[in-house]
Every structure is written in structure tokens, then in C-alpha cells.
Chains A and B, each alone.
Chain A
Amino acid sequence: MSISEPTVFIVDDDAAVRDSLMLMIEQEGIAVKTFNNGDEFLAAYQPECLGCAVIDIRMPGMDGLQLQEELCQRNILLPIIFLTGHGDIPLSVKAVKAGAVDFLTKPVTRDALLSSVRSAILESKRLIAQLENGQDAKSRLADLTEREREVMALAVAGSPNKEIARRLGISHRTVEIHKSKIMHKTGAINLLDLARIANEGGL
């Protein structure tokens, strides 16, 4: 599975439904992989694939909502479009609260499915970009010493150098040296950029 090519993963226990939806999505030039159940999908899935999953909410064994929970636990950030036989409102509310991007009733029209798939792929791209930024930020912050992290935390919270010096019990000059090292190590261009990196890096 390549990261660059978006793929739609169809998980449905009905072969005809899988086949017909696959033809429909492939017709738009989007790659499709189909799975008979949640376990097969989890076994084949590699993290950080670009794309989305189209999942039947009612399946024997692991149902759609359980699969969604499992993906969530494994930190798999894949947008999910649920398919359901009846417009089951309580179920759809639960699914959407758990992060599903859409909830479509069978039989689904071409327009509805493709528009959902396209917006789900956009969402996937956004999620992956966010994830990559996060990893970049983490690696930039990795080299900071304990004292430098303390100084950075106070600086991005808006404290002036004098205040930082007083709070940490160090001289004004030392604070300036720490800040210069922080900016160098993280590659931040200004304090605002540093705040963004700290945020993405989870500090």
C-alpha cells in the first residue's frame, strides 16, 4: 500500500455489494480493496495509508461500530463512511460521535457515495499532514535539555525574559542563552513558530 495513492477500503459481508461498489468507485479512477469482515481488514491494513473505509454497520462477528473502536484503539486515523440497511438514527449518532465522517443508507446512490468518498479522502490527507507535522515537531524538540524545555514552556506561554529568570531562579542573561539555543535546535523562525512546533509536538 503506497502512501501517495488514495485507496478506498470496502468492508461488507455481502459479496455482491462489495463487487458493485468496487466497480462504481474504480470507475472514478480511485483504487479499491475489499474485505469480507473486520478481521480481514485489520490484518491487511498498514498504518498511515491515504484513503478511507466504507464499512457496513451490521455484519456477523465484529460489526461496524466495533471495527471503528478497534481502529481508534490502534490509533489508525482512517476516515470512516458507514453503510446501513435502515436509517438507524441512534446508531448513526453513536458512529458520528465516535468520528465517522458519513452515514449512508442502502441502497446508496452513486452521487452520495462518491461525494462522501471524496471528502473522506480530503480529510485523510489533512489527518496525515497533521500527523507528519507532529512527527517533525517531535524530532525537532527531541534534542532540547530539561532546562531548555522549561524555558520554552514559559516563553510560549507569553512570559517575558525577566519573569522567566525570576521563576526559574536564573539570570536574565542565561535565559537569553537558553532561548537562542532553543530557536537554533528547533529551527523556529520566531516565537509564534516555536509555539506551533511545541503544540504539534505535544508539549
Chain B
Amino acid sequence: MALTPSLEHLSFQALFNALADAMLLVDNAGYVLLANSAAHALLGYTSGAICGLPVKTFIPELDLEQRNRQYDFGPSFINKNNKLIALTQDGRKLRVCVNLISPQAPGQSTVVITLYDDRRRQAEESLRISEERLHLAKRAAGLGVFDRDLTNNTLYWDERSRELWGLTPDEEITYEKFESYIHPDDRAGRYAALCRALDPASNGEYQTEFRITRKNDGAECWIATVGQITFEDNEPVRLLGLMRDITELKAAEQQSQERRKETEALVKRQIAVQTASAIAHEINQPLTAISAYSEVALHSLKNNNMSSKNLCRALEGCVAQAQRAGDTLHELLNFLRQSELVVEPTNINRLVKASIDIAKKDGYGGFHPLLKLEQDMPPVLCNPLQVQKVILNLVRNAIEAIHGSGVTAANITIKVRKMAKKNMALVTVQDSGPGFDNETAKRIFEPFFTTKSKGIGMGLAISRSLIEANGGKLWHDPDTKAGATIHFTLPFSP
């Protein structure tokens, strides 16, 4: 091999100059024999100006005598990492680390001094530390990084991202592959979020959550991603983002939602029980008297053993007590309706949208709302909270009916139209569930009638009375072929 001979051509001078660290070759008396270009640059001298100067000019504290003291210990003297001050030509002070190396050969006494700029070392050190910290933080938060080049449609995933999706570190990842692991129900939502971010008119923020089927074990996980689109000339070119696993978070959310629903159901039931016992108590007393008076009258008629005065008293008692029961009921209802209804002009389309948002957030279960809202609807006059309650009731009924019947696609259509002749708005809620049979349809507005295992059967009865209190009507459409359809009306604001 011709390697060794070529090395012989390499001059010491050239090698010395090519080194990135500042180096000085100093003779026994402390004068610089040779300095490389890095040393000239560091100390601020023009090329060659350092040679011949005493080394104490640049490094006043340097103690070359050390070499003599330590000479006995070995053939090659090395002294490392002396932190000293170096002076530049224009008088600046530099913090440097100084290494002394004495290539000890008999009869020679030169020293090679290497200067490391301490600030550069510190900067490099702090960069390394901050990179380590970032890595640790990413690790602790379980964050995966992804980077998608939108121009060339290439995808970079870091190790953690691959781990989240159950991929091996060397497996190739493409956009198509990525999409195939996303739950079919969540693809449309994620795509919509991406489209919003890709719009050059937006701020390019990409944020979405979806379920995936992990490749290695087939487990279903929830992934949350946040990212930022980079635009060049109004064209999206890059999507850089983070992803993390939120499966446990979702499970906890679901659990607390279920618990809240249970509590709500319990409170509702309790209210129903309290109301029913208040009514029972008020009605029971007159009923007790009527029952007793009637039996007294009956008994005396059968046995012909009572004075007409007592018979009269018994029958009069019956009449009076029946009247009393009626009056009590009216009083009770008046009391319950006492709160005065506050109505205001309301944008019904906006109210429908707001209600759908609540229904989605409240975890009524997954569903696909289809809104068919007539534009330019005049404001309706109603109590928005009560009408919202009705819409939520109807949507919830629809979702529960669909899920209860095992139909997979929970489609709920909500239409808003004008009824010009009647000066009313018509709202229709239609679902893709099994609908009602005729017998059920007749009874759905009865209080305490329910087809649900946990319902108390007040939903539709209350909804109807709320809409009627707002000056509208609520009814079931018996002509619908599939699913259940409920309509209600509200008057336009004058």
C-alpha cells in the first residue's frame, strides 16, 4: 500500500495549520517558535505576527516551570485543562483552557500549548444539555415528533411516534399507511382538521384527536396531535407536529361522564319521587274521607239502619272532599308554574347549532348530525334555555333509540323551516332509529311512560309542556317511514 509514503509528504507545518484548535509551539525559554492560523485568529494577530514573541505576552499566568518540576515522572509531560486568561492583541481578556504537551525527546525541550476558547466550549455544553433536557421532556410527556413534507409527500416519524403506533423502528411509513391505521369513524374528522390548517387564510394550526388500531397488538388507542403548517408563497409546504397517547385520559373522561349521568338520573328520579309524594299526600286525605263516607253510605243503604241525616252527612262529605281534591291539584299546579316565563327574540339556527355542540360534548354517544337550516330565518320569540332543553331532550332520545336498537349509523337530521302562513318557525328532529309502533306512539307524551330501561318517562311530556309554554306546539309525525320524527313550532318575534 502506498499510504505510508504519502504521509511523508505531509509537512508538519501544513498539518499544524490545518488544526481547528489554537496551538502554539514554545521553546525552552518561553518564546513562540510556531503558531497555527487558529491561534492567530483567536488572539487577534495577523498571520505570522505571533512567532518570536514570549508566550507570557498572551498568557501571563502560564507557568512553564511546571514542566521542569514534573519532568521526573515520565518521558512525556502533559498538563491539562488549566483555566487561564489569555490576552488578545487589542487587550481583550479571553477565558481559555490550556493544555500543555511536551513531546519529550532527549535533547529537545519544546512545549505544545493548545488553547480552547472556554466560551465556545460552554456554549457547546449548554446546547448539549438543552438538547438532553428537550429529549427528557419529550420522553416524560410521551411525545412523538412527526414531520411531513407536503411538496414531496414524505413523512418523518421519530422513534416515539413509531412506538405509539406499534411500528418497528425501521419500518417505512407513508401517508397512506398512516391513514389506514386510523379508526374509520375518525378519518373524516381528522381530514377536516387538516383541511382547516392547510387553508392559507388560517393560522396553520393543526389540532385533532382520533382513534388508531395499534399495529403490533391491534389495541385501540386515542392519539392527540398538535402541529403547525409552514406556508411558502401561500402554499402549504410542511407540517411539523407532536403526537401523544391520550387513551387513559379518554377513559377517565368517559368514566366521569358516566358517573355524572348516573347522578343526574338519580337526582331526576328523586325529583319525580318528591313531586309524586307531594301530590299523593295532598290527594290521599280527601280520598280517605271519600272512601270512608261512601262505605258508610253503602253500608247503611244495604242494612237500612241509618238516619237520613247521617246519610246526607256522608254523601255531602263525599262531594266536598272530591271538590277539595280538585282544588288542591289546581293549587299545586299553579304553584309549580309560578315562575314567570322570560322570552326574547332568538336566532333559532344558532340555538340549534349550540345545542348540537352541547350534545356532542356531553357524551350522549357518537352521532352524525345533519343540519338543514333554512337561511334568513327571522328571530323567534322564546326562552332560549327552555327550547335548548327541548332540542337536547329530542336529540338524546334519538341517540338512545338508535343505539338501543343496534343500528350502527346514528344519523340525526335537524331541519329548521319557515311556516309563512302561520308566522311560525318549524323545527324537525328525525332519527335513523327504529321509530315507534302505533301503540307506543299513542302513549309517548304520557307522563312516566318510557321505553328506556333507566328513563323516568318525563322527557317528551316536559318537552311538550315547555314548547306550549313558549307559544308553540310539539307533536310526533306518524307518517315517517323510517325512524322517529318529532316536530315543534315557535312563534316569530313580532
Contact = CB atoms under 8 A, between A and B. Distances in A.
A19 B288 CA distance: 11
B289 interface: yes
A154 interface: no
A107 B277 contact: no
Given A16-B321, A85-B280, A109-B295, A27 B288 contact: no
Interface stretch (B217-225, B306-314, B429-437): B306-314
Interface in B267-304: 277, 280-281, 284-293, 295-296, 299-300
Contacts of A86: 277, 280, 284
Contact of A107 (B281, B284, B296): B284
B252 interface: no
Nearest to B321: A16
Interface in A45-98: 58, 83, 85-86
A21 interface: yes
Contacts of B44: none
A106 B284 contact: yes
How many of chain B's residues touch chain A, expressed as a range? 20 to 34
B284 A27 contact: no
Nearest to B297: A23
Given A14-B289, A85-B285, 12 more contacts: A14-B288, A17-B289, A17-B292, A19-B313, A20-B292, A23-B313, A23-B314, A24-B295, A27-B296, A27-B306, A85-B284, A86-B284
B317 interface: yes
Interface in A108-124: 108-110
How many of chain A's residues touch chain B, expressed as a range? 10 to 19
A58 B314 CA distance: 25
Shortest Cβ-Cβ A-B pairs, 3 listed: A20-B292, A16-B289, A107-B291
A108 B320 CA distance: 19
B289 A110 contact: no
Nearest to B295: A110
Contacts, number: 70
Contacts of A83: 288
Contacts of B148: none
Contacts of B285: 14, 16-17, 85, 106
B287 A107 contact: yes
A21 B117 CA distance: 110
B310 A107 contact: no
Contact of B291 (A14, A19, A23, A109): A109
B279 to A, nearest CB: 11
Contact of A23 (B277, B288, B292): B292
A86 B295 CA distance: 21
A15 to B, nearest CB: 9
Contacts of B313: 19, 23
Given A27-B296, A107-B291, A108-B288, A20 B281 contact: no
Interface string A24-60: 1001000000000000000000000000000000100
B324 interface: yes
A110 B300 contact: no
Contact of B288 (A58, A107, A110): A107
B287 A106 contact: yes
